Amino acid sequence: MADVDEKSPVGFWTSSSGRHSILEDIQGIVAGSMLAALGVTLLSAAHLLIGGTAGLGFLLRYSANLSFGTAFFLLNLPFYWLAYRRLGFVFTVKTFAAVTTTSALTGLLPQLIAIEHIQPVMAALFGGLLIGCGMLILFRHRASLGGFGILALYLQERFGWRAGFVQLGLDGVVLALAFFVASPLVIICSILAAVTLNLTLAINHRTDRYIVR
């Protein structure tokens, strides 16, 4: 019997111990994007923010009457150059697919899921956890939700800095800007969401523990 890790000529659905198959990557990108979009929907229902380009997307949504999906997609465009130069063409394509899917789903989900009431602390905890789990899946399939995630992954691979802690610092800058458009309660709950998200990444994503490509 052939070894289960041995690659077959048909690599679309066959993986090895060190590399995901194409089908696994597609599933991972779709699943990660779905979780992230659901997390964004929970935060949006409670009028909360988050860090990173997602947080900037929320700021534009609340201050410029621009949909989150459109703002999130546009804000990520400048980061694709860094992704291509530093992390490769395949990573860039996967990230573009994840950002596009997440942007589309965040516009679609409110039409399919009606959330009449959600307590802000619960929205922060569950929303942050869902986005963090979605990003964790994407990271493990060599993709991201763009923006600060690209920069955090690059710094982790280049200098060994934990991606979750790097992103937490960058998120702090975005949340500081939220003081201009949000109430203190929203700021506190938004910080809780960002901490939940980034602790999920920092604790669960380490390149020395998970090396599948």
Q: Residue 2 has what pLDDT?
A: 42
Residue 5 lies in a domain: no
Residue 17 lies in a domain: no
pLDDT tops 60 at residue 90 = yes
C-alpha–C-alpha distance, residues 161 and 158, integer Å: 8
Q: What is the DSSP annotation of 23-41?
A: HHHHHHHHHHHHHHHHHHH
**How many domains does the structure of the chain reveal?**
1
What is the extent of the structural domain holding 102? 25-204
The pTM score is 0.78
Residue 176 lies in a domain: yes
Residue 129 lies in a domain: yes
How high is the mean pLDDT of the chain?
81
What digits encode the pLDDT tens for the residues 98-156? 999 998 998 899 889 888 889 999 999 999 999 999 999 998 888 888 777 677 777 87
Long-range contacts of 7-10 (CB under 8 A, 24+ apart): none
Residue 210 lies in a domain: no
Residue 4 lies in a domain: no
